[in-house]
Structure 1
């Protein structure tokens, strides 16, 4: 069981990350519905996956946003409509982006790395984070209910 101070800290972190997600979506100009009140999945204080409501299909997840101690990014909700699927989709996207950028090629559907000045430093970070995310997505012990 978590200590009360740890629980308060985790709650504050999640609230802060939620606001960060809301601000990011506004900055990106993504038209969306509600942002989940709580992450669909998280590992405090490293990563959180947030469900974002679809405008076209109210009460359905249209997007997933990842935030935490990594680049904030979003992907459309895929066939696997779970936080685990979102983690896998983002990890795959980041792995592909890092590989393509290291070869000087563009990746059209990646919102991270649009500022070319930061790409050289971003490539190894994105590649490393992608492997961590994919490892978590493939670890059945993390997802006992799925």
Structure 2
């Protein structure tokens, strides 16, 4: 009779291993998101990318030729999104940009009447919630002190 081995629970797993798995998962999510937009990533600029597991990751990614471009790509416990690197110099600036952009998107959904649809209302509320959280995180000097 063989003895079964129980899988470790989340509490028993190594926090560093969980963090690495989260980063890997959200890196793949960012790649897939860009691919769905018709952008094929060629490399990530890791030293300029940042993440705060399990909340968000902001990746600086280059696309393949012939139209080589660089983007900031957001993934995590929020809507995936991207913007040309020209919109923000640093990851922190990109987070601020996404925060403001999502506030405006939510406001436009409300103004257009789209939020009469329950799905659109939930999406607008999600955008506002995540935008506010991102703004707080990008504004928290303690999170960015080690990078100065």
Q: TM-score, normalised by structure 1?
A: 0.77
Residue pair 2:39, 2:63 contacting (<8 A) in 1 also: no
Residue pair 1:14, 1:38 contacting (<8 A) in 2 also: no
Partner of 2:22 in structure 1? 13
Partner SS, residue 42 of structure 1:
strand
Partner of 1:111 in structure 2? none
Q: TM-score, normalised by structure 2?
A: 0.77
Q: What displacement does 1:35 show?
A: 3.0
**Greater helix content:** 2
CA displacement, residues 27-54 of structure 1 (integer Å, 9 cap, x when unaligned): 1112543234588111111111111115
CA displacement, residues 44-85 of structure 1 (integer Å, 9 cap, x when unaligned): 111111111155796xx7211111111111111135421101
CA distance in 1, matches of 2:91, 2:136: 14
CA distance in 1, matches of 2:47, 2:27: 8
Ranges in structure 2 where 5+ consecutive residues have no aligned partner = 1-11
Report the more deviating stretch, 3-12 or 134-143. Answer: 3-12
- Aligned residue pairs total 133
Partner of 2:37 in structure 1? 28
Ranges in structure 1 where 5+ consecutive residues have no aligned partner = 107-115
Residue pair 2:31, 2:41 contacting (<8 A) in 1 also: no
CA distance in 2, matches of 1:85, 1:44: 19
Q: Which has the larger radius of gyration?
A: 2
Q: What displacement does 1:97 show?
A: 0.6
Residue pair 1:52, 1:62 contacting (<8 A) in 2 also: yes
Segments ≥4 residues shifted beyond 2 Å: 30-33, 35-39, 54-58
CA distance in 1, matches of 2:47, 2:13: 18
Partner of 1:112 in structure 2? none
Does residue 1:94 correspond to 2:95, yes or no? Answer: no
